[in-house]
């Protein structure tokens, strides 16, 4: 029995209509940017396996560190106990974040990092005796698939069955170029004494279609929020650790800092699951009390898992190396050059780039959405040519590991051009 056949008997895959989906592709090995299949095919992982992989698959340095930790301490309860990997990671991470970030709370993934931030924000107001119950978010946002994270995400086909169970959220449009003043005015009209927090994906909305906007308008939105005491939550799950060109997207902001930050995905270099929520000293102090009811009652069995923290420390070593800094700049420059070619193509619209993230819309006429057939055509075309990309509807994007080579990146660009030429002929 093949791996595909065994899979079909027992597995339910994410974001997959199991009735109509093609059999999943069995991957038996990864190395660098490459994935190797059971039947001998290879794929360039041009999307970092859902944006998590920073330094390449099966990185020997990360593997070495995790293997050593595995023979020392694999896990311990994190209530009433601690360990060096968790403390060291927090000690090294906080100085890299905006200067107001003071404490680290560990969880399991991006969704839980957002859940923790929301609970911190709501309970902050409860603890200081001024409860607030509203959140403002961006339209078409994606913050995860747990209930709190879904509630502050955009309402869509993905959340439709659960809408009766989600708390109400006020939305503003993404402040894309040309709409800044309109969005700021809308935002200011929503701010009142019942708004607890404003949550946002800084500069790039990932699953919403790689929607990009500028630091200047985000700075104004945060300033407006903080004038009203509203807490600003930066969800850097996707954009953290160099994806936007800076180590964190929040470093593009001027004169403002988020009150809370959410990190995951690239945190461990894609090696294993780990989430982090950081907060300011002001928020942390609201939970310090002789009254145990003011405790943050949140935790996970695998909170601050030593193996995951060790992987994160190893990934951080690589991320902060001069080689990676050079690779990030090189990748951003190559994307910028390729973007100039893309804008000339007749089936391409709205080319956009921020650091190592390059995205554009495929336009063949008619309506486009996540469920548009263009997505399936583009996905299959590229996959047949050895390139793993997973379009968001008609939005095609590139977000490769930093270790991608000149030869590999050129090949990916060439296959994208071949796709565009094929689509143009069909039109």
Residue 380 has a pLDDT of 96
Q: Is residue 36 domain-resident?
A: no
Please give the model's pTM, rounded to 2 decimal places.
Answer: 0.96
Q: Is residue 367 domain-resident?
A: yes
CA distance linking residue 166 with residue 395, whole number of Å: 28
Three-state DSSP class for 360?
Answer: strand
Task: Using pLDDT thresholds of 50, 70 and 90, give the confidence band for residue 426.
Answer: confident
Residue 291 has a pLDDT of 97
Residues 224 and 246 in one domain: yes
Total structural domains in the chain? 2
Residues 185 and 88 in one domain: yes
Give the domain-ending residue among 319, 338, 364: 319
Q: Is residue 127 domain-resident?
A: yes
Residues 338 and 296 in one domain: no
Residues 132 and 148 in one domain: yes
Residue 379 has a pLDDT of 96
CA distance linking residue 106 with residue 204, whole number of Å: 24
Residues 250 and 343 in one domain: no
Over pLDDT 90: what percentage of the chain? Answer: 95
Name 313's Cβ contacts closer than 8 Å, sequence gap at least 6: 65, 85, 88, 89, 92
pLDDT in tens, 228-239: 999 999 999 999
Average pLDDT over residues 168-191: 98
Q: Is residue 244 domain-resident?
A: yes
Q: Is residue 14 domain-resident?
A: no
Among 282, 305, 369, CA closest to 75: 305
pLDDT in tens, 183-207: 999 999 999 999 999 999 999 999 9
- The CATH number given to whatever domain includes residue 108 is 3.40.640.10
Residue 305 has a pLDDT of 98
Residues 297 and 386 in one domain: no
Q: Is residue 176 domain-resident?
A: yes
For the cut 80, the answer to whether the pLDDT of residue 156 exceeds it is yes
Give the domain-ending residue among 319, 340, 361: 319
For the cut 70, the answer to whether the pLDDT of residue 250 exceeds it is yes
CA distance linking residue 331 with residue 334, whole number of Å: 5
Q: Is residue 49 domain-resident?
A: no
Burial of 287 (0-12, 13-18, 19+ CB in 10 A): middle
Cβ contact 260:120 at 8 Å: yes
Assign residue 129 a region: left if phi > 0, alpha if psi is -120 to 50, beta otherwise?
left
Residues 183 and 259 in one domain: yes
Over pLDDT 70: what percentage of the chain? Answer: 98
pLDDT in tens, 88-131: 999 999 999 999 999 999 999 999 999 999 999 999 999 999 99
Residues 347 and 272 in one domain: no
Residues 280 and 419 in one domain: no
For the cut 80, the answer to whether the pLDDT of residue 370 exceeds it is no
- The CATH number given to whatever domain includes residue 366 is 3.90.1150.10
Q: Is residue 334 domain-resident?
A: yes
Provide the angle, in degrees to the nearest 10, between the axes of the packed helices 84-93 and 306-319. Answer: 30
Give the domain-ending residue among 319, 340, 364: 319
Residue 17 has a pLDDT of 92
Pairing mode of beta strands 348-354, 211-212? unpaired
Residues 300 and 391 in one domain: no
Residues 342 and 312 in one domain: no
Residues 100 and 164 in one domain: yes
- Domain range enclosing 312: 63-319
Among 370, 427, 425, 422, CA closest to 396: 370
Q: What's the chain's average pLDDT?
A: 96
């Amino acid at each position: 029995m093949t791996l595909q056949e065994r899979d079909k008997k027992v597995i339910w895959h994410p974001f997959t209509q199991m009735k109509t989906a093609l059999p999943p592709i069995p991957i038996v090995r990864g190395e660098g940017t490459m994935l190797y299949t059971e039947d001998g095919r290879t794929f360039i992982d041009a999307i970092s396996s859902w944006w998590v992989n920073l330094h390449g698959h099966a990185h020997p340095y990360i593997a070495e560190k995790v293997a050593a930790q595995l023979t020392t301490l694999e896990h311990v309860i994190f209530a009433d106990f601690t360990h060096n990997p968790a403390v060291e990671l927090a000690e090294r991470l906080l100085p890299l974040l905006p200067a107001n970030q003071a404490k680290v709370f560990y969880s399991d993934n991006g969704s839980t990092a957002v859940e923790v931030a929301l609970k911190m924000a709501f309970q902050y107001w409860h603890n200081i005796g001024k409860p607030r119950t509203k959140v403002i978010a961006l339209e078409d946002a994606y913050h995860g698939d747990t209930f709190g994270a879904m509630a502050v995400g955009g309402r869509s086909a993905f959340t439709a069955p659960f809408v009766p169970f989600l708390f109400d959220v006020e939305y503003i449009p993404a402040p894309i170029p040309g709409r800044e003043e309109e969005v700021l005015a809308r935002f200011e009209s929503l701010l009142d004494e019942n708004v607890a927090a404003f949550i946002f994906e800084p500069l790039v909305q990932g699953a919403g279609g790689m929607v990009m906007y500028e630091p200047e308008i985000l700075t104004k939105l945060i300033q407006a929020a903080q004038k009203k005491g509203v807490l600003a939550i930066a969800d850097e799950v996707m954009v953290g650790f160099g994806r936007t060109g800076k180590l964190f997207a929040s470093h593009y902001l001027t004169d403002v800092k988020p009150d809370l930050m959410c990190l995951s995905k690239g945190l461990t270099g894609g090696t294993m699951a780990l989430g982090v929520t950081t907060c300011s000293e002001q928020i942390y102090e609201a939970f310090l009390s002789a009254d145990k009811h003011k405790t943050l009652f949140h935790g996970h069995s695998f909170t601050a898992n030593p193996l995951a923290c060790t992987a994160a420390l190893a990934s951080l070593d690589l991320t902060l190396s001069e080689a990676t800094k050079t690779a990030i700049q090189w990748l951003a420059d190559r994307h910028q050059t390729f973007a100039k070619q893309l804008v000339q193509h007749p089936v391409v619209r709205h080319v956009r780039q921020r650091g190592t993230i390059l995205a554009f819309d495929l336009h063949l006429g008619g309506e486009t959405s996540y469920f548009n057939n263009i997505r399936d055509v583009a996905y299959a075309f590229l996959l047949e040519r050895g390139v793993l990309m997973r379009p968001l509807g008609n939005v095609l994007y590139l977000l490769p590991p930093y270790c991608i080579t000149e030869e590999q990146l050129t090949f990916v660009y060439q296959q994208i051009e071949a796709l565009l030429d094929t689509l143009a002929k069909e039109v």
